Amino acid sequence: MDPDFYQDCMAALETVIDPELGIDIVNLGLIYDLFYDGQGSLLVRMTLTTMGCPLQDIIMDSVDYAFKDMDRVERLKVDLVWVPAWTTDRLSRYARIALGIR
C-alpha cells in the first residue's frame, strides 16, 4: 500500500471513537494491520480492549462508516483478532495523557 493511501486510511480510522474511553481507535492502539489489494478491497486487522466488548457492534459500524467516502475502498473487511492481546503498551502518547496513564 502506498504511504499516502495508508495515511488516508489511518486518518479515516482516527475518526472512530471508542464510546467508553472517548479516544480514537488508532491512538488506543487497536489497529494492527491494513492490507489493500490495489483493486478496491481493504482489510483492517484490529482488536478491541476487551473480549466481549459490549460496544463492539457500534465500533465495527463506525469503522465501516469511516471508509464510506473513500473512492479507492470498494470493499471493506474487518478482521477482529485477539492475538496478540491488547495491552496499555499499545496506547499512543496522546492516549496515555488523556487517560492519565504513565
What pLDDT, on a 0 to 100 scale, did the predictor assign at position 40? 97
Domain total in the chain: 1
DSSP conformation class of 90: G
Specify the pairing of strand 31-36 against strand 41-46.
Answer: antiparallel
pLDDT (0 to 100) of residue 62: 97
Q: Nearest Cα to 18, choosing from 68, 51, 60?
A: 60
Beta bridge partners of 45: 33, 79
- Please report whether residue 101 resides in a domain: no
Instruction: Per-residue pLDDT tens, the chain, 102 aa: give them.
Output: 899 999 999 999 999 999 999 999 999 999 999 999 999 999 999 999 998 888 999 999 999 999 999 999 999 999 999 999 999 999 999 999 999 998
Quick one: cell of 86? 491488547
Provide the CATH number for the domain around residue 79. 3.30.300.130
State the pTM of this model: 0.94
Query: Looking at residue 53, what is its pLDDT?
Result: 87
- Residue 63 lies in domain: 3-89
